[in-house]
């Protein structure tokens, strides 16, 4: 294989990986805006409530306060 083609291939893969990391990394760090409902189910994070005594409507577990600051 030509060394130039090899360098272009490696560079392209690295650039693509960096791009994917950039986009997916930002998505992974996202969180609901507003922060009005700090309690959520450990198993079902999309079940949230501002009521500390609320229970998950999916599994019935007591909602816990997340680590989100
Ligand atoms: Zn649940």
| Residue 28 confidence (pLDDT) | 52
Q: Would you list the domain boundaries of the chain?
A: 1-30, 32-69
Distance 25 CA to ligand 1 centre (A): 25
Ligand 1 is an ion; residues with CB less than 5 A from it: 41, 43-44, 56, 58-59, 61
pLDDT in tens, the chain (69 residues): 787 887 787 887 777 776 668 777 765 544 555 557 899 999 999 999 999 999 999 999 999 997 554
pTM of the model: 0.45
SS (HEC) of 1-69: CCHHHHHHHHHHHHHHHHHHHHHHHHHHCCCCCCCCCCEECCCCCCCEECCCCCECCCCCCECEECCCC
| Residue 11 confidence (pLDDT) | 80
| Residue 48 confidence (pLDDT) | 95
Distance 62 CA to ligand 1 centre (A): 8
Distance 26 CA to ligand 1 centre (A): 25
| Residue 42 confidence (pLDDT) | 93
């Amino acid at each position: 294989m030509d060394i130039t083609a090899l360098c272009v291939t490696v560079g392209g893969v690295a650039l693509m990986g960096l791009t994917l990391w950039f986009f997916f990394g930002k998505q992974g760090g996202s969180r609901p805006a507003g922060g009005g409902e700090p309690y959520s189910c450990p198993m079902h994070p999309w079940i949230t409530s501002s009521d500390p005594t609320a229970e998950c409507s999916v599994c019935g577990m007591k909602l816990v306060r997340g680590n989100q600051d």
